[in-house]
Structure 1
């Protein structure tokens, strides 16, 4: 479980430390730094997978462009007004990322290079990192998922990669391996009681996926099958069951939001203890009721032992989290809410606290207050 993250001279942040909880919600206006938090974690993961986090000088670094994130070059990621530690210090432009997990801090300091897409590592933690390190396995182990805002869209077919979906258990940063993952693991049991809806026909991944997707679109069911002679798989939707069952429909002929939400549903249902799930805008293209139920699903994944860090613009997602706390489904001290807003060329963060009854300790200006602002004008 990650306890905190520190970011220096990276994108929206001159210097920022953030506490992380089992369920961390990041919200705020556009371009205020929310995605930068998720990208910094994905950048560490990406660099680790490339074998670049345990060596300094020319042998290690932060890999800016890869499978998870494509951030450009040093000039694209360094904060505009970088932190000055000392006058004329050569360290002024360094980009520093740190995490604290199980009370142990880890820090990586990389040299700024304007045109570089591999930022040379100047220092790393004393202890080497690995995917099996107890306190780092959520970030660097097998149970990691990062789903960006630009996820898969309805299509006729999707890639069939055994390496990604089966050996690594990875859905893809855009969720592109989700359909193949569902095909390969549809008969696996969802073991956590918190994740299983009682109306499902069984505890298999496919049955529970159908049940949760029906919270977004009543009556829907899914099929994921391989296409013979190709390296692709096909997803189809149906409605109803038995004699009242519909024909099967391509994703291109069904509501956009279903396919867009599917990777989120699969990521949460496949969560295990020590899983780390990074989610960008899970509410996109969904009706408000569906947005609330995705918050319920993420809370259920946290109850199953996962850690979820979610970026959202939805008050329905926030309220879904608050309701789960009030209902006793999630402990208040297992949540963290961070509200980001621009302040000059940098970003400041306000952290309202959720109480046991679901109320918030603070409601700063700009924090999900547009509905009330509009209502005041309508009633004026």
Structure 2
């Protein structure tokens, strides 16, 4: 699970400030306020991790990538090549413990969280180049080991650490190489030292954390009358939810069983999703069936009401097909995943928007085959109904305030600010921002004034008669 994020000089962001991420993190804000850029950087980091090109510090994307950010200049704040792109990312260690032991001094360093702090600048060809890379191993909010890969006054790379003494191998005094991608000290550079193998552990943990980030965009694929599935297991539902039905079939074929939290009823994956759709109040029943025995073509059948006829998903309201990817992704992704979702409430009735908060709370608490899933959701939303339900569940004790983080993204002149909202045990936001969901009182006042003017005009007309 990601624990923290800070971004400087990326697109509209001069500096996000420190962002503390919870199991359920929700970001609100006006359109074009920079919310989506936060997720876009994570996608760029993930596709860099997945790239086969180790010498490219940052894979900014193309038509086949997860995200296409254009040129490095376009990524920088104000398109100023003098700016340094900096991001600091922290995450929990799966298994909740990482132990580093120096084979020479036998000193041991232990942590349950890893942080990566990277600064990238433009080179002479306006391409990204890593200028500084730091790892911090932390235990209980204290740093136990820091290692920095930096350039000296002669622009030569060196490794620095106050806690760990790196010892050179004899006869290997040549300069260190440029890092692989943005997070990995190359094998050749590590080989110059007798005790630098632990740096590969840091890189592997970075790859695991970023490979576990999944994204669901705001625009989802239209439903189909027939879906093809030949037995493959998709990594996710896709950015537009295009693999949602394949994911349901794959999870069901693998006999994956989930429940909504400790001591809750356990169900097969397809039945689990169907029950959530029913509880949301969207439909009465949901099933995925082959069009004929032995065929690879499937149809999604639903009932809008218990007494209704069973019809294909294309023949009911659009909301079903739009919420389905959000439901499936929340419970389909592997344990310890982070899911970034944009506007999952699109095309949904206000009541269903509220119920969606219960789905996401459950996703962070769910268990699979008896084990905790530890899934994290970061949700961009415009829904007041979603927030109201979330506040209610905090007040009721269904979810603790520590497991929820709420942010408000807004423009302040040419700058963008990200304000953390303080949610107490009563579910109250203690620092409610001005015009959070628009100026409601102004609308009420204007409506009242218009009604009064209308009545006065009616009275004047009656008096003239």
TM-score over 0.5 (shorter chain): yes
Matches of 1:226 and 1:132, distance apart in 2: 44
8 Å contact from structure 2 (residues 5, 87) kept in 1: yes
Q: Which sections of structure 1, spanning at least 5 residues, go unmatched? A: 83-90
2:96 matched to 1:96?
no
Counterpart for residue 34 of structure 1: 35
Counterpart for residue 119 of structure 2: 109
Distance change >3 Å, CA 113–CA 310, structure 1 → 2: farther
Instruction: String of CA shifts for 1:293-343, please: whole Å, max 9, x gaps.
Output: 111111111123211100000011111211221121111011111101112
SS at 1:194 equivalent:
coil
Distance change >3 Å, CA 115–CA 365, structure 1 → 2: farther
8 Å contact from structure 1 (residues 197, 208) kept in 2: no
Counterpart for residue 315 of structure 1: 384
Instruction: String of CA shifts for 1:10-50, please: whole Å, max 9, x gaps.
Output: 11101223221111111111111111111111111111111
2:238 matched to 1:172?
yes
Shift of 1:379: 3.8
SS at 1:62 equivalent:
coil
Counterpart for residue 403 of structure 2: 334
Distance change >3 Å, CA 213–CA 7, structure 1 → 2: same
Distance change >3 Å, CA 114–CA 318, structure 1 → 2: farther
SS at 2:83 equivalent:
coil
8 Å contact from structure 1 (residues 279, 309) kept in 2: yes
Q: How many residues align?
A: 355
Distance change >3 Å, CA 156–CA 2, structure 1 → 2: same
8 Å contact from structure 1 (residues 9, 78) kept in 2: yes
Shift of 1:78: 2.1
Distance change >3 Å, CA 96–CA 225, structure 1 → 2: farther
Distance change >3 Å, CA 203–CA 373, structure 1 → 2: farther
8 Å contact from structure 1 (residues 62, 110) kept in 2: no
Matches of 1:372 and 1:225, distance apart in 2: 53
Q: Which sections of structure 2, spanning at least 5 residues, go unmatched? A: 93-112, 133-181, 186-198, 367-373, 450-465
Q: Which has the larger radius of gyration?
A: 2
- TM-score of the superposition, structure 2-length normalised? 0.68
8 Å contact from structure 2 (residues 258, 267) kept in 1: yes
| Comparing 18-27 and 107-116, the one that deviates more | 107-116
Shift of 1:151: 1.6
Name which structure has the greater RCO, CA cutoff 8 Å, separation 6+.
Answer: 1
Shift of 1:122: 4.7
Distance change >3 Å, CA 61–CA 204, structure 1 → 2: same
Counterpart for residue 4 of structure 1: 4
2:141 matched to 1:151?
no
Shift of 1:240: 5.1
Matches of 1:338 and 1:129, distance apart in 2: 33
2:429 matched to 1:360?
yes
8 Å contact from structure 1 (residues 101, 136) kept in 2: no
Shift of 1:120: 4.7
Matches of 1:71 and 1:224, distance apart in 2: 40
Counterpart for residue 210 of structure 2: 139
2:319 matched to 1:257?
yes
SS at 2:78 equivalent:
coil
Q: CA RMSD in A?
A: 3.1
SS at 2:354 equivalent:
helix
Corresponding residue to 2:70 among 65, 69, 72: 72
Shift of 1:158: 4.6
8 Å contact from structure 2 (residues 301, 310) kept in 1: no
Matches of 1:136 and 1:278, distance apart in 2: 17
Listed as ranges, the matches of 1:210-249 within 5 Å are 210-214=274-278, 215-223=280-288, 225=290, 233-239=298-304, 244=307, 246-249=309-312
Counterpart for residue 85 of structure 1: none
Matches of 1:70 and 1:15, distance apart in 2: 22
| Comparing 346-355 and 279-288, the one that deviates more | 346-355
Distance change >3 Å, CA 115–CA 361, structure 1 → 2: farther
- TM-score of the superposition, structure 1-length normalised? 0.82
Counterpart for residue 16 of structure 1: 16
